[in-house]
A and B are shown apart, each in its own frame.
Chain A
Amino acid sequence: MRDASLPKRRSELGEILYHLVRDPLGLAGLVIVMLILASAIFAPLIAPYDPIALNVPDRLQGPSTAHLMGTDQLGRDTFSRVIWGGRVALQVALPTIGGAIFFGLLLGMIAGYGPKWLDNLIVLVFDTIRSFPTVMFALAVVALVGPSLNTVIVVIMVTSIPTYGRVVRTLTQSLKEAEFITAEKSLGASTPRIMAVHILPNVLGPLAVLAAMDIPTVVGLEAGLSFLGMGVKPPTPSWGSLLNDGYNLIRNTPWLIIAGGIPLILTTIGFTFLGEALRDVVDPKLRGKGGK
């Protein structure tokens, strides 16, 4: 039951959103990200054509009212492929980032708070994974098990875990020594309580920023792998395969490669803006100071 005499108070998430939309950068980022998300979710409604339906007589047409971004060499509507490609991009990016955050948090907090030997072991694993260049690693795995969306997701996730894990580990280590943690212990907080109530909220903010900034990287990786033919299998539309199709025909039909490039650029800009703005907003101390 809510006490009526209490002054109005937004939830933590509401507070973050409130300050986010007041920052022009944050608002721009949020709008772009929402547009990308909406177009991915409502792809079947937005896309005017079936993205994999062949229509060879209409191939390689320039932009027109019938085909906003023209058609490719098989007569497929490029605009529809861009919209559906966004779906693929997010299908890769969201589980990848989600999984990387989950395992990064888990391993990072254990490494940062746990015994020294466990820390050493986890850091060793992190360093081993990070010593492989992601694309090389991905190509090797794809060569072994064959290209598929799931392979791409798992490979990018595994190679992203150390990035998150190391940030969490470092933050946890410094928080562990913080006086307020000792103070909480002196008031009877157990280790799980300290981790969940006191360390986790202090780590989540920076991690959200990192994740927002990381989404374009993951989307780019997926596009890169698909460009190389190591990602999603044709005819599934991906921004990367759009780029590849466009690249081959760049002299005659430049709109194809532009159509594949624009969503990548928008994704990068949108999530980077959002990440930048989030950084000022997740720390309650900086709230309302960053935005004008």
Chain B
Amino acid sequence: MTVLDIRNLSVSYATPRGELKALREVSMTVPERSIVGIVGESGCGKSTLISAIIRLMAPNAQVGAGSVAFKGDDLLTLADAQMRALRGTEISMVFQDPMQTHNPVLTVGRQMMDIQYRDALSKAEKRKRAADMLALVGIPDAQARLNQYPFEFSGGMRQRIAIAMALMAKPSLLIADEPTTALDATLEVQIIKRLRELQDDIGCSILFISHHLGVIAELCDEVVVMYAGEVVEAGSVRDVFHSPAHPYTRALLECDPGHIKEKTRNLPTIPGSIPDMVNLPGGCIFADRCPMRFEACATRPAMAEARTGHKAACHLIKVEETA
């Protein structure tokens, strides 16, 4: 069963220059009890996508078409109050910068008790639950630490508190927006491990956004590669990372510093830059920067199956099939 099923979602921003088409016909699914990664460079629409899922979009954003089905209900057509009822209980989110995600003037305990406002529990019970959650994410001496303010915690601990708050109500879907980007490498590993364990315990699905390929490979079951507002490749982590079908994915993997074997002065980059999303070029979105461009690239490629469960939006797949 799929927890999240996004179909042909298009989102645009009204800008002074015109309509910026931030997401174009994005389709992806998050199966039950699985971790799906979204990877792509800055500006590829990752953040727009998650803000559309949880419906906390910028005021100038507009959903053009498509649906976001969560357990069968289209989130985009829910009333505001219904959507709010889902947030924090069924869908919750962890943000990128743990230094910014807590109210600075309230103690952690107060905040963790406050988010349980929907539950008819006594204060002591809520406090107990908050302490249990803190212990679960690996914060020692949880009872006492509930009385502390966010600034009394380190970045890694704050991110764990954020995770504890997000998982408090045992949601079905956790959206993690680059939760380890602001942390150093050792903490990153700890958080990733903890997330994996918690996901196992709670049985939720995780939609994990990152531009760090190593983390995606470590944590996720499936991965979706986005480029300039489109999904260019999707499949299991193994398939996508070991035999990428889209030239963009290949280029992205080559740029990962983890892949570089020899000492070099210049880190590899993908030549060119992201197309102007207000005035989009016709045809394949990656054609301008693609080393393998050919005539067919003047038309927009559809998602094609490279192998079972592994799709990419590239004309080369068909060429290879016929060859």
Contact = CB atoms under 8 A, between A and B. Distances in A.
Interface in A174-233: 178-180, 182-190, 193, 197-198, 201-202, 205
Contacts, number: 80
B103 A202 contact: yes
Interface string A55-78: 000000000000000000000000
B236 interface: no
B87 A185 contact: yes
A188 B103 contact: no
Contacts of A193: 114, 117
A8 to B, nearest CB: 9
A251 interface: no
A235 interface: no
10 contacts: A3-B124, A3-B127, A5-B143, A6-B144, A179-B97, A182-B95, A183-B102, A186-B54, A186-B95, A189-B115
B2 interface: no
Contact of B102 (A9, A180, A285): A180
Contact of A178 (B100, B144, B175): B100
B148 to A, nearest CB: 9
A183 B93 contact: yes
Nearest to B128: A3
A1 interface: yes
A290 interface: no
A180 B101 contact: yes
Interface of A: 1, 3, 5-7, 9, 178-180, 182-190, 193, 197-198, 201-202, 205, 283-285
A194 B235 CA distance: 39
Interface in B19-63: 54, 56
Given A185-B56, A186-B88, A180 B144 contact: no
Interface string B272-287: 0000000000000000
Interface string B136-164: 00000001100101010000000000100
Contacts of A190: 84
Given A178-B100, A180-B101, A202-B104, A187 B92 contact: yes
Nearest to B149: A284
A17 B85 CA distance: 39
A186 B102 contact: no
Ranked 10 nearest A-B pairs via Cβ: A188-B88, A187-B88, A179-B100, A188-B87, A186-B93, A183-B101, A284-B149, A201-B105, A9-B147, A285-B151
B56 A186 contact: yes
A255 to B, nearest CB: 48
A180 B103 contact: yes
B165 A187 contact: yes
Interface of B: 54, 56, 84-89, 92-93, 95, 97, 100-106, 114-115, 117-118, 124, 127, 143-144, 147, 149, 151, 162, 165-166, 175
Contacts of B104: 180, 202, 284-285
Contacts of B175: 186
Contacts of A185: 56, 87
A186 B93 CA distance: 6
Interface core residue of A183, A197, A202, A283 (most chain B CB under 10 Å): A183
A283 B104 CA distance: 9
B95 A179 contact: yes
Nearest to A203: B105
Contact of B149 (A179, A186, A202, A285): A285
Contacts of A3: 124, 127
Nearest to A178: B100
Contact of B103 (A6, A9, A184, A186): A184
A289 to B, nearest CB: 12
A13 to B, nearest CB: 13
Contacts of B162: 183
Given A186-B87, A188-B118, A7 B147 contact: yes
Contact of A205 (B56, B100, B105): B105
Contacts of B97: 179
A187 B54 CA distance: 10
B88 to A, nearest CB: 3
B114 to A, nearest CB: 6
Nearest to A282: B105
Contacts of A189: 88, 115
A201 B97 CA distance: 22
B110 to A, nearest CB: 9
Contacts of B143: 5-7
A149 B92 CA distance: 55
A179 B182 CA distance: 14
B15 to A, nearest CB: 18
Contacts of B56: 182, 185-186
A198 B104 CA distance: 9
Contacts of B88: 186-189
Contacts of A188: 84-89, 115, 118
Nearest to B86: A188
A190 B166 CA distance: 16
Given A187-B92, A197-B103, 8 more contacts: A5-B143, A184-B115, A186-B54, A186-B95, A186-B175, A187-B93, A189-B88, A190-B84
Contacts of B124: 1, 3
A205 B103 CA distance: 14
Contacts of A198: 103, 106
B312 to A, nearest CB: 31
A166 B228 CA distance: 41
A198 B89 CA distance: 19
A190 B79 CA distance: 13
